[in-house]
Amino acid sequence: MSQRWARTFLTAYRFAGAAAYPLVGPYVAWRTSRGKEDRIRRRERYGIAGRERPEGPVIWIHAASVGETIAVVPLVESILDYGVNIVLTTGTVTSAQVADERLGDRIIHQYVPLDLKPAVSRFLDHWRPDLAIIAESEIWPMTILELGARRVPQVLVNGRLSDRSYKSWKKRANIAEALFENLAHVVAQSDVDGERFLSLGARPVTVSGNLKVDTTPPPADERALYTLKRQIGARPTWAAISTHDGEEVVAAEVHAMLHKRHHGLLTIVVPRHPDRAEALAAQISGMGLKLARRSKGDRIIADTDILLGDTMGEMGLYLRLTEIAFVGRSLTSEGGQNPLEPAMLDTAVLAGRNVQNFRATYQRLLDSGGAKLVRDRDMLAGAVNFLLTNEVARHEMMAAGAATVEEMRGALALTLKSLEPYIQPLVVKSRLKGANGR
């Protein structure tokens, strides 16, 4: 496929939309699921604004879901210090709640429009952003093309390309290059990500590290933490967090293997998707284990085997109840989940071997001794048993993880440096408008 053909294809795509082109369609399909839609604000998905545009320059920042929203909060706060208006878009109800809790009315929150021309055009016609900052690993072609047609600078920050996404784009290298040339700058998470973006045609590309490292640890409600700690008492604990299908059963089996050796053992299971809780509760109870569900307010009593953390936004609470955490989507699923939050909270990190999506982070933790990868259920049981038995080794691992996170900090400063040429003109414009308005 020639570069000229690719540009013709994307131009036609811009006007015809994803439905006409199944080749690119998978990248723009709007993936919704039960619990992710805010019915009251559904119009925002179609680009119909829920607020008036403020006077002066506007920066549009997009963060796909909870993880990306948390990651960009320090970046948003730093940009707000310049006195520039920010419209922050997210894709889920939960991420909208996170934005409200952490940023409040300092920003304007909207749900991201569907990646279809009418929705994107309505959104851009109303907000008229002077700069677009995208913080996610997925690429939305229509949005990129529409911003490019309007000559709005676009910067991808905390950029990451998974093995699967990279292979998919490489098969369509000319389309990727014709698309990525619309980006004014890519700030990648790692050297590997940076090389991948360069090979797909993005220019310029810099490497900052992971913005999630520069966030604060996830918070916990002090009253809830006090209550749960009193209920648990001196019982030994370990957690399996951000688990995916199959990993909850593995955690329950590990508990069954260890509870006689470690009297009073409590296993905390926090599924990545709490909407699976009913099925999980039935499955774990069917194994003869006694379950307490956080969402139901169940008390943890002497014979409780499993605390099922089936709530959203309480990871900080669960991690403060233990010193050992297995991080999921790494044993029975692929890609892994981010180990930074447990490491920040002085927790020894365990994971399966399928952690490709966070390869650089895990490599740093492995090199320092802050994390250990396990092959299967039996190896996980052995690692949990070792850490429960050996306090000195456990605390050394916890300290190594926390120290590694501190060493990795600095992504925020590097990202702001890359953004400075795009933000400073807007700061000047905002100040001049303010001065002329007085």
Q: How far is CA 64 from the centre of its chain?
A: 8
Q: Are 268 and 296 in contact (CB under 8 A)?
A: no
Query: What does DSSP assign to residue 85?
Result: E
Other C-beta atoms within 10 Å of 269: how many?
Answer: 27
Distance from C-alpha of 110 to C-alpha of 125, rounded to nearest angstrom: 14
Q: How far is CA 245 from the centre of its chain?
A: 19
On the 0-12 / 13-18 / 19+ scale of CB atoms within 10 A, 286 is exposed
For the chain, the farthest-separated pair of C-alpha atoms sits apart, in whole angstroms, at: 75
Amino acid residing at 113: P
Query: Choosing from 37, 44, 52, 68, which is the catalytic residue?
Result: 68
Distance from C-alpha of 6 to C-alpha of 403, rounded to nearest angstrom: 47
Other C-beta atoms within 10 Å of 259: how many?
Answer: 16
Catalytic residue flag (residue 253): no
3-class state of residue 241 by DSSP: strand
Partner residues linked to 325 by β-bridges: 239, 349
Distance from C-alpha of 164 to C-alpha of 196, rounded to nearest angstrom: 12
Query: What are the CB-based long-range contacts (under 8 Å, 24+) for 70-73?
Result: 70/98, 70/102, 70/212, 70/215, 70/218, 71/135, 71/158, 71/210, 71/211, 71/212, 71/215, 72/135, 72/157, 72/158, 72/211, 73/102, 73/103, 73/215
Residues that are catalytic? 68
